[in-house]
């Protein structure tokens, strides 16, 4: 008799928890007023061409066989080794 009562209490608690979660979700999901839609038309015409961009001095140069500009300059000490059989 006690296990049946415990199952019923657990079922009621679970169902009420689900109901509360659904109610909280529904209360938080309210529709907001949408802004009025406006449409605009823009026409742009250009007759001149811009010169090609020049390379910057700050950009790293990647050359085949050259040094890697992205490698760190500080090298960390190696990890200590454990004695055999010690994990």
DSSP per-residue string spanning 3-71: HHHHHHHHHHHHHHHHHHHHHHHHHH-PPPPPPPP----------S-PPPPPPPSSSPP--TTS--TTS
Domain that holds residue 11: 1-26
**Residue 6 belongs to a domain:** yes
**Residue 79 belongs to a domain:** no
**Residue 83 belongs to a domain:** no
How far apart CA 10 and CA 3 sit, in angstroms, is 10
20 or 50: which carries more pLDDT confidence?
Answer: 20
**Residue 41 belongs to a domain:** no
**Residue 72 belongs to a domain:** no
**Residue 60 belongs to a domain:** no
How many folded domains does the chain comprise? 1
Whether 63 and 71 have beta carbons less than 8 Å apart is answered as: no
Mind listing the pLDDT tens digit for each residue in 38-47?
A: 666 666 666 6
**Residue 40 belongs to a domain:** no
User: pTM of the full predicted structure?
Assistant: 0.33
**Residue 56 belongs to a domain:** no
How far apart CA 15 and CA 24 sit, in angstroms, is 14
């Amino acid at each position: 008799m006690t296990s049946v009562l415990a199952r019923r209490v657990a079922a009621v608690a679970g169902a009420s928890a689900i109901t509360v979660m659904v109610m909280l979700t529904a209360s938080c999901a309210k529709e907001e007023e949408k802004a009025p839609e406006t449409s605009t038309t823009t026409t742009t015409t250009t007759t001149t061409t811009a010169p090609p961009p020049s390379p910057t001095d700050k950009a790293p140069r990647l050359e085949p066989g050259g040094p890697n500009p992205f490698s760190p300059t500080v090298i960390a000490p190696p990890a200590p080794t454990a004695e055999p059989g010690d994990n």
